[in-house]
Amino acid sequence: MFCTLSTSANRLKSLFFCATVAFAPFYAFADDAVKDGAYLATAGDCTSCHTAPGGKPFAGGLKMANQFGYLLTPNITPDIETGIGSYSKDDFFRVLHNGVNKKDQDLYPFMPYGAYTKVTREDSDKIYDYLRTIQPVSNSIEVNHLDFPFNIRSSMIVWRELFFKPGTYKSDPTQSAAWNRGAYLVEGLGHCSSCHSPRNLMGAIENSKAYTGSVIDGWYALNITSNPLTGLGKWSAQDIARFLKTGSYESKTTALGPMEEVVHNSTGKMTDSDLLAMGTYLKTLPANSSLSEDQKKVDANTLVGTRLYIDNCSGCHQSSGRGITGVIPPLAGNPAVIAARPNNIIKVIIRGFTARNGYIPMPSFASRLNDQEIVEITNYIRSNWGNTANPDATKGLVEDIRKHPGI
């Protein structure tokens, strides 16, 4: 449905401009956390997307287009009115981790939050601290220029339910510290899979083929798995690190198109140890790759539950079951949802509940949903968005609750 990169022509126009402005702080770095944040923002290549050709650093306005129209990247300077000056650290982390902005709107996956969700809270806070030192720029951006119906943000609910799984990167204890650091950078801040992976018809990464190469803006983002013929199988980790640092593999190749910009604005400014860690991780990716962390598998049962949730529940409880603060209770992490037994949530679906504690009333769905549909919704919300309750609702239990209100 949506790609993450802008047109390479627009991005390349800003290539040398960004060299002089990308790290021009308004205030001197006050502490190590801010210095670390500047480095992490470099690793995430924030400047390339949030600086328009000829524009001020991080003030947004870069055009990111695809077949559904285009977006203009937002202003992420600390300007109160037009930037993120009113964002708290919690708000900023929510953007990276959940893909939801301060207005409680789902972000379009032009913003690679599918990768940024892996960033730790500590690193998110450091990036936030750094961005607060950038000179505030008043630059109001009308972000959304997508064609109907994609310009309606609620259209993102389907995409998110099927293809987005929030979760901070978890180290693999069987691997070295360098490998884990490389995995964190490649899969998280570096969002390498966004360009180097083929996508399905809805624009989501095909996880089983991650990093095996894809066409981006008319350029081919190369296979960066360990495939010896079409990938990096014949490269050493040191070769990969050197390429990321210089944009060149001596006597072999040089960075072209968007990758040239990535080297110039991001990887070329990273430490040798981090680049070697990335090379170490990339060398272990099998030819037919997958992202190292488990991703949501879209099977037939999930599709049924997703469809029923979207049709009946998402209008109020929103994507990822997050609800609306103080108005509609969340389903993610809700004790009634993840209880040892599913009775409570089944009763609420069948009977609804009256307004209480500031929350608006919920209508009964007893006549709208049949027993099997209630089973599918109950099991879906008990086992998604980080909920780990057993999907153990049964048709017999639903029938009993309908017949015997007291159980």
- List residues forming the annotated binding site for heme c: 46, 49-50, 192, 195-196, 313, 316-317
Smallest CA-to-CA distance from 39 within 123, 115, 121 is with 123
Distance of CA 297 to the CA centre of its chain: 17
SS3 123: helix
CA distance 172 to 294: 12
**Tokens 């801010």, residue?**
34
Residue 320 and residue 327: Cα distance in Å, rounded?
16
Burial 188-205 (b: 16+ CB within 10 A, else e): bbbbbbbbbbebeeebbb
Q: What are phi and psi of 191, to 5 degrees?
A: 35, 45
Q: How far is residue 255's CA from residue 247's CA, in Å, rounded to a whole number?
A: 5
Say how far apart CA 77 and CA 59 lie, in whole Å: 6
Residue list for the binding site = 46, 49-50, 192, 195-196, 313, 316-317
Could you give the angle at the alpha carbon of 154 between the alpha carbons of 71 and 360, nearest 5°? 140
Q: Which of 57, 63, 17, 273 is nearest to 281 (CA)?
A: 273
> For residue 144, what is the enclosing H or E element?
strand 144-146
Whole-angstrom Cα distance, residue 109 to residue 5? 10
**Which residue is associated with the tokens 């109907």?**
148
DSSP string spanning 33-79? Answer: HHHHHHHHHHHTTHHHHHB-TTS-TT-B--EEEETTEEEEPPP-SS-
